[in-house]
């Protein structure tokens, strides 16, 4: 076996005493050393801390009974880890060491998981290719000359390359689902509020949500049960009961109704993606699901609404990175040579220079767009208007869910593209998020599962979108597809 197996296999073996958590952890660290030079999935590897926490699982019998006992996990580098640098793949946070853990990190460690490192991503999660990182690109394990998707590309590559059975990502407009699709794995964006965002470096606070990337639907369910729940430290986290999501996965749901927004899928979808999507629907239909046509009249506006709302929120969230509190401050424009001290002309000059040197081009572009959208005279025309259309997009889904249990569409209209291919045209890059952003705007849970490969052997993802807080039905539908297909069993050769 190349990897350590699925989350479920690792957990069951550790619980039964068949494998030791430390052996599993050592195997993961060795695999990172062996393959990450090719992939660039990790920004930081926490081997020592991981081995210590694995040893604690082996030493204390009560830890070996935990729901994620001994499960190695990789964290997107925008999730705060106490004492371990957390960069969001930005130069401005290159040396930032958080003084606290994100709530999801606390939950994972309490559940017995072993954190092995921090994964590369687009800077501050802004991007769809993981090319916007200050620390280099991550490569797709299926084709090293291609992007892994983004922004959680390092997390997706780590799971696809069988380095870890579980990784966490964050999803603001598709950043878990799209890289999961492009790397041939499962990626789940929970309902907004299902998982606490405390300790997630904020990009767009009304859209951001943390979720798992795994090899199987069951693993995603197990991980979600571990990280979900109300948190006093995040006022938007929800009080809804957290069920045992994995327990809901047994066989085919008897009366599943799947909505298909055909009108959306006519244009701009790669032919091989389209064919794989249709086969996936056929699999579900053969096993008892009913396919129902639905219309989402405002879905066409989702991309502009998303990029107006998300950049507005980002420009506000990223104002805090100003060279005062978080590590990086630009060297002064002029220095007081005598004293050896550096001095800026004034505070504003220091802000401007620090942000100019600390942020990469995509982050600057979005800060500029968001600042403009929020500026006097344009607020109503852009920001308020997009929030109104956001309401119409939510209502589209509310109407659809009166007739169906989940809505299906491809995760990405295209398979993984070549590194560098789209960097010079940001608008083209944004348009590729067409199927993922609406779940964030409406706050809905959504999952991407492997549903085929192109003739060039690139993975294709099926996306299912569910009702608010109904991850149970969403996961059951995804599981029904997985049980009757073999795509998820394929692994890339590195």
Partner 1 sequence: MTNGFSRAQVEAVAALANLELSDSEIELFAKQLGDILDYANQVQKIDTTGVPPTASVVTRHSADRADVVVASLDRTEALRNAPDASQQSGLFKVPRVIG
Q: Which residues are catalytic?
A: 76, 151, 175
Q: Can residue 241 be called a binding residue for partner 1 (CB under 8 A)?
A: no
C-beta of 150: minimal distance to partner 1 in Å?
18
| Given 11, 63, 76, 329, the residue binding partner 1 (CB under 8 A) | 329
Q: Does 319 bind partner 1 (CB under 8 A)?
A: yes
> Is residue 22 a contact partner of residue 48, using CB atoms and an 8 Å limit?
no
Distance, CA of 118 to CA of 81 (rounded, Å): 9
Residue 384 in the binding site for partner 1 (CB under 8 A) = yes
Tell me which stretch binds partner 1 (CB under 8 A): 22-30, 151-159, 303-311, 454-462: 303-311
388 binds partner 1, rule: CB under 8 A: yes
What's 303's DSSP letter?
H
| Minimum distance of partner 1 from residue 494's CB (angstroms) | 36
Contacting partner 1 (CB under 8 A), which of 315, 317, 436, 438?
315
Pairing of strands 209-214, 42-45: unpaired
Any contact of residue 361 with partner 1 (CB under 8 A)?
A: yes
Residue 453 in contact with partner 1, rule: CB under 8 A: no
Instruction: Decide whether 52 or 233 has the Cβ nearer to partner 1.
Output: 233
Contact predicate 163/195, CB 8 Å: no
If we measure between CA atoms, which residue out of 158, 174, 199 comes closest to residue 3? 158
Nearby residues of 424 by Cβ (< 8 Å), 6 or more positions away: none
CA angle 64, 70, 74 (to 5 degrees): 155
Q: Does 185 bind partner 1 (CB under 8 A)?
A: no
Please state the closest distance from residue 206 (CB atom) to partner 1, in A.
5
Q: Is residue 34 close enough to count as binding partner 1 by CB under 8 A?
A: no
Q: CB–CB of 285/259 below 8 Å?
A: no
Q: Which of residues 93-122 bind partner 1 (CB under 8 A)?
A: 95-97, 99-100
Contacts with partner 1 by CB under 8 A: the residue count is: 71
| Neighbouring residues of 317: CB distance < 8 A, sequence distance ≥ 6 | 202, 203, 204, 205
Q: Which helix (H) or strand (E) holds 449?
A: strand 446-453
Q: Which residue has the tokens 């009249």?
A: 297
Note whether 232 binds partner 1 by CB under 8 A. yes
- 389 in contact with partner 1 (CB under 8 A): yes
- Rounded to the nearest whole angstrom, what is the least distance from the CB of residue 298 to partner 1 in the complex? 7
Q: Does 391 bind partner 1 (CB under 8 A)?
A: yes
Closest CA to 178 of 170, 166, 187, 169: 187
Binding to partner 1 (CB under 8 A): which residues in 54-93? none
């Amino acid at each position: 076996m190349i990897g350590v197996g699925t989350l479920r296999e690792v957990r069951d073996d550790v619980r039964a005493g068949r494998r030791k958590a430390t052996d599993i952890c050592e195997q993961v660290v060795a695999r990172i050393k062996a393959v990450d030079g090719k992939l660039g999935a990790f920004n930081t590897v926490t081997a020592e801390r991981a081995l210590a926490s694995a040893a604690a699982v082996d030493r204390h019998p009560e830890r070996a009974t935990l729901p994620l006992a001994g499960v190695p996990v990789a964290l997107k580098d925008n999730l705060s880890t106490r004492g371990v640098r957390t960069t969001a793949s930005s130069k401005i946070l290159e040396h930032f060491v958080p003084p606290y853990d994100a709530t999801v990190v606390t939950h994972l460690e309490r559940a017995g998981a072993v954190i092995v490192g921090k994964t590369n991503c687009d800077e501050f999660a802004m991007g769809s290719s993981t090319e916007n990182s200050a620390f280099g690109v991550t490569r797709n394990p299926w084709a090293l000359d291609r992007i892994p998707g983004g922004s959680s590309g390092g997390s997706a590559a780590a799971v696809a390359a069988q380095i870890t059975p579980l990784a966490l990502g964050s999803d603001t407009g598709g950043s878990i689902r799209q890289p999961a699709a492009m790397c041939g794995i499962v990626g789940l964006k929970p309902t907004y509020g299902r998982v606490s965002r405390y300790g997630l470096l904020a990009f767009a606070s009304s859209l951001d949500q943390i979720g798992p990337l795994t090899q199987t639907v069951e693993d995603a369910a197990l991980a979600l049960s571990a990280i979900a729940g109300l948190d006093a430290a995040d006022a938007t986290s929800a009080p809804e009961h957290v069920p045992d999501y994995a327990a809901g996965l047994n066989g085919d749901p008897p009366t599943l109704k799947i909505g298909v927004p055909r009108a959306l899928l006519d244009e701009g979808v790669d032919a091989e993606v389209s064919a794989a999507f249709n086969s996936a629907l056929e699999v579900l239909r053969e096993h008892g699901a009913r396919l129902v046509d639905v219309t989402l009249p405002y879905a066409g506006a989702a991309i502009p609404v998303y990029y107006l709302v998300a950049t507005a929120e980002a420009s506000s969230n990223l104002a805090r990175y100003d060279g005062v509190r978080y590590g990086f401050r630009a060297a002064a424009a002029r220095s007081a040579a005598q004293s050896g001290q550096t001095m800026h002309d004034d505070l504003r000059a220091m802000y401007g220079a620090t942000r100019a040197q600390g942020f990469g081009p995509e982050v600057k572009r979005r800060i500029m767009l968001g600042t403009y959208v929020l500026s006097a005279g344009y607020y109503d025309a852009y920001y308020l208007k997009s929030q109104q259309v956001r309401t119409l997009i939510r209502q589209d889904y509310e109407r659809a869910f009166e007739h169906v249990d989940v809505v299906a569409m491809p995760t990405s209209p295209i398979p993984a593209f070549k590194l560098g291919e789209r960097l010079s045209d940001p608008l083209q890059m944004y348009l590729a998020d067409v199927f993922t952003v609406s779940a964030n705007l409406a706050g809905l849970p959504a999952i991407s599962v492997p549903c085929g490969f192109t003739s060039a052997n690139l993975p294709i993802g099926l996306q299912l979108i569910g009702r608010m807080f109904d991850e149970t039905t969403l996961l059951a539908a995804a599981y029904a597809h997985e049980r009757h297909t073999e795509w998820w069993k394929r692994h890339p050769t590195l």
